[in-house]
Every structure is written in structure tokens, then in C-alpha cells.
Amino acid sequence: MKAVIGILLCCCACAHASDENWRIDRPHPVEDPAYGQILYDYYQQRYFAAMSHILIGLETGALPTQQQRAQVLLGALYANYGMPREAEQLFDELLDKAVDEELATRVWIHLGNLYYQQQRYQQALDTLDQRVKEVPDDLQQNYHALRTRILMKMGRYDDTTLALDALPHTERLSGYLRYNLAVSRINAGEGKEGEALLWQLVNLPPGDEEINSLKDKSMLALGVHYLRSGVPRRAQEVLGAARLEGPYSETALLLHARAWLATQEPDKALGSLQALSERSMQFEEAQEAAIALPYLFEQLGDAARARALYRRAIEQYTAHYRYLGELEEKVRSGAWFKEVAREPHWSTAMDPVPPFEPRRVESFATFRQVFASHAFHTRWLDYHEQWRQLRLLEHWQQRLPALHELLAAHIRKHRDQMPRARALLEQVDEAGYPVRLRQLQGQFDRAVAENDYALFANDAQAELLDALSQAQEKAARWDARLSDEQKQKLDFYARVLRWDIESNLVPLQWQRERELLAATDDVALLQDYRERVEGAARGDLGRIQMLGHELADTHNDLVALTLRGHALLQRQQYAIEQLALEQIDFTRERLKAFTAECWVALGDLENRVLRERYRSPASSGDTRSSE
């Protein structure tokens, strides 16, 4: 788990700034804000949200300058979510492109981690050693940690030690890697080298609970190593300095007692076993101490104390066996799960999965080995990922009423506007704008062809032409009454007006032509509006009704998915409860075996005491006879 977290911290660097010193309180360029949102989600450990935003950004083109960096981060997230094939394909596609050297280095490191997860250790090591030339500063720790794990898996322990030197001793990751290397070297027969690494961890300065637990675990590993190596005195020294609190205190007490028993000094093992026997029977070490303590008194010759402790152990085993029966009922009813794993609460559907923090209920010690197992944490993550999906479905369902209301508003608006649209269409049809435009175009063409100057007169000239036309009509009717001078004057006015119009005929024609073109565009736009209004009046209701049916189908799908999600959630809970039931069954078998051993030991003790008792009077009788 820590290896995955360590690799996840190898995220892509933020968008690099230019050489200028940008300040947030001054105008500065902002590029790819979507990438900033992705990095924010990532550093907030909202990995699901970051992956979703990357996919959306790549699909919509919202990452014009940071597309490749986002793809590197997406590949790392793919690998973390158990999608190695997709991650490897994405990394290969990136390397086929002309990416810059720094980005290519990040891709090679991610590929090395991917090969490591797939147990392709030699390929992973070759990738890191041959492809990575210069490690970026922010990837130094993760690169060296990955290379250390690879070398350790390959059994190259000397090289692993050299690789570990690149990590600071104060780093927690370095401590865990040194512990793993120490245990691996001891198991491989390199006891001195592993012992030296464990002593480095034991001598770390006290720190928080995690560091202190690592020191305790290293002490236990040293104690076990010394016991297996036949050096119990060294084991006594190490285990005697172990803490009496913490997650490893029970194991330390039990190993300390075994170290004294290994040197045939049972009286010195008595204190550790007595302290351990006073602890809860939920601890496996306390169960072993309950039967080991009377056996120890039996070896010391205190038969009465041994008999009482055997009976006490039987009572404790029996009581704990009954407790396990009650606990099993709680597990099967679901009450235990509600006590230990509280229902998670998130502000959004994409918040990070909360860490496992079980309540310190009465049964916690019974299942502490379960809580520390990989199988439990895998199911825990599955359970909360399922909760995440249910939260998302609930979020969508909460938005459906607003969509229904919006759809109803559209229907009301359509029913209100449809009669008005039809009335407007009738008015447009009655106006006949296209026909009138064609008529105007025809008049213009004929006027140009026939050189009809009157059509191109402006408003003032048109008014004069109209007045002149009326005067000519009256003159034609009153021809006998008009003098020659009046007729000549009227004809003079007509020629002057024509000359005035024809002197600006070309600009006037151009003006009329522009007006006709503008009118043509207006009529085309009007026709487009007419078609849109006609389409809305004719088919919009059908489309809205179709959307209503789709919303109803969506609601049904969400309800079905929610029901299925709750069923899957229940299955995830059952999987966690099954681990608890398996632990209960395992503990029951231990209790049965310990109880049987206690009865056998108690029977042997009673038999031996009786035999010694009957042998003592017989011996005294023989003595009197001889006298």
C-alpha cells in the first residue's frame, strides 16, 4: 500500500512558469485553468475526480498546453486503479510522440513502476537504469524507493543497500524499506547484514506512534532472529527493552518469556507471562500465556498453583468461547459492522475515500489482525467506492425534479407561444414580402433597361414629379384654356426636373440597388425566422414530450441502479463480515485446542500428584516395617 502511495506522489509538475516573475496581485497570463483544477483535485487526494477531469479535458480540448502532462498523470492513476494495460498503452503512445526529455523521464519512471507491479523486475530495472538519465528533484525519493524495491525482489541485497543510501535515513519510507531488506537478508541466510540494518532502526530517535511502532517491530525481529540463531541472551536484552504498550507489546512479552525459557530460567519468564495473562483473551498472545503460565508453575514444582491456573485458563477459554458466539450473532445481524465501520459522509460524490479508523469498540482487539490485512483493506476500499457511486446516483436523482420542472416550464411556454407563432406566420404570409421584393426587383430592372429616371428620384424630387404629373394631367384636360407661354413653362419645368434627376442618375441607381440587396437579405432572414417559428410551432411539442419520456427513463434507470448499488453495497459488507467470521472460527479452533490441552495437562498433573501422594505413605510404611 505504501508503495502505491509513494508512486502516486510522483505526479506531474505543475505548468511551468515563464522567466518572468509573475505575481498574483498583478496582471499575468493564465494558461490551461482546467489543468490547475486537475492538480488541485490530485493534491487533495481526490483521485477519482482528477481522473474524471483529465478525461473531460482531453475530450473537450481544454488542455491545449498541458495535454501530455495530464496524460502522464492519467497513466499513473490508471495504474493505481488496477488498470495496468491501459496505463502501459497510454505511456507507450506518449513515448512514441516527440515529448520533451523531462516529461519522457517521468513516463519512464511510471513505466518502471508498472513493470514492478506486474512482477517484471528485470524489465523494470532496465527501464530505470537505461532510460532515466537525470531524475527530477520532485521524483528523487520515489525513484530511489522504487529502484530499492526492485533490487530487493531480485535478491540483489548488496545493491539494495547501496540504493537505500540515496534515501535519507529520516524518511519513513526509508525505514520501512530497511526493515524489509533486513528481514529478507535474514531469511536468505545473511544474518549479520540483516541484524545490522535492524539495529539501525532500533536506534532511531523516538518519534510519533508510527516511528515508535517501527522501532518495536524491529526489536521483535531482532529477538526472533536471536532466538532462532541460538543466542537467547541477546534476545533477552533486546526484548527486555521493548515497550509495554503499543500494537506489539503482547508479542514482545511472549517472546521475552520464551527467551528466558530458552536459557532454562523459567522463574525469570514468570513476570512476562503473568503480565500477559492479565490482558484480554482477545489477544492471541494472552491465550498462549494462559496455558503457558500453569505449565511454568508445574515446572517450578508448585502443583497447587498450576492446578488453579489450569482451571482458570479453562474458565477463560470457555468464557471467551461464549463471547465469540455472541460476537458471531452481532456480526451476522450487521450490528458489529455498524459499530466498527461508521457510515461515511462526503460533501460531494468525488471526495476521497476516508482512511480506515474503526471505533475502539469492545471487539476491536479480536479483529486487529483482520484490520491489518490486505484483504480487509481491499474490501474496505471496494465498500467505500460503492458508497461513492451511490452518492453520485443520489446526486443525480436530486437534480431530476429541477429538470422535470424545467421541462414543464418549456411545455407551458410552448403552449403559450404556439398560438402567437401561428398568428405571426399568418401575418407574414399575408404581407407577401418575397412577392413584393420580386416586384420591386422587376421594376428596377425595367427602369434601368428603359432609362426610366423617375424611379430613381429622391423624396423631394418624387414630390415634384408627382406635382408635375398632376399639372400635366390638368393641362391636357384644359388644353384650350392654356396659353402657349404656360405650356412652354410647364415643359421647361419638366425638362429641368429630368435634368436634375439624370445628373445624379448613376449614384441614385447604386443607392436603389443597395437598398434592394439589403431588402433581399432581410427577406432571406425573415424566411429563416419563419421556418424556425414554423418548426417550433409544428414539432417542438413532440421533442419536449420525447425529452419527458427520456427523463422518465432516466429516473427509472437511476432507481434501478440505486437498488443494484445497495445490493452490491450489502455484498461488500458481507465480504467484510465474512473476514470477521473467519477470524472467529479460527479463534474458536485455537480455544478448543488450548482447552483440550489444559484438560489433558490438568489430568496429567492430578494423576502425577495422586501417584506421588500414594507413593509417599507406602514409602513411610516400608520404613516402619524395617524398624
pLDDT of amino acid 406: 86
Which residue range forms the structural domain that includes residue 120?
A: 1-11+33-154
| Residue 111, in any domain of the structure | yes
With a cut of 90, say whether residue 312 has pLDDT above it: yes
Q: Which of 19-28, 43-52, 54-63 has the lowest mean pLDDT?
A: 19-28
Confidence of residue 7 (pLDDT cuts 50, 70, 90): very low
pLDDT of amino acid 90: 84
Instruction: Convert the pLDDT of each residue in 522-576 to its tens digit.
Output: 888 878 877 777 776 665 667 777 888 888 899 899 999 999 989 998 998 999 9
Q: Is 128 exposed, middle or buried (0-12, 13-18, 19+ CB in 10 A)?
A: buried
Q: What proportion of the chain, given as a percentage, has pLDDT over 70? A: 81
SS3 state at 30: coil
d(CA 149, CA 302): 53
With a cut of 60, say whether residue 92 has pLDDT above it: yes
Highest mean pLDDT among 15-29, 106-120, 536-550: 106-120
Phi-psi region of 334 (alpha: psi -120 to 50; beta: other; left: phi over 0): left
**Nearest by Cα to 447 from 435, 457, 456:** 456
On whether the CB atoms of residues 565 and 389 are closer than 8 A, the answer is yes
| Residue 128, in any domain of the structure | yes
As a whole number, mean pLDDT of residues 503-510 equals: 65
As a whole number, mean pLDDT of residues 500-504 equals: 63
Confidence of residue 11 (pLDDT cuts 50, 70, 90): very low
Confidence of residue 322 (pLDDT cuts 50, 70, 90): very high
| Residue 81, in any domain of the structure | yes
Instruction: Convert the pLDDT of each residue in 234-270 to its tens digit.
Output: 999 999 888 888 888 999 999 999 999 999 998 899 9
With a cut of 80, say whether residue 617 has pLDDT above it: no
pLDDT of amino acid 433: 77
| Residue 446, in any domain of the structure | no
- Cell 526472533, residue located: 224
| Residue 545, in any domain of the structure | no
Confidence of residue 17 (pLDDT cuts 50, 70, 90): very low
| Residue 112, in any domain of the structure | yes
pTM, two decimal places: 0.65
| Residue 559, in any domain of the structure | no
pLDDT of amino acid 380: 84
* Helical segments of 246-302, H only: 249-262, 266-277, 284-299
CATH label of the domain that carries residue 130: 1.25.40.10
Domain count of the chain? 1
| Residue 426, in any domain of the structure | no
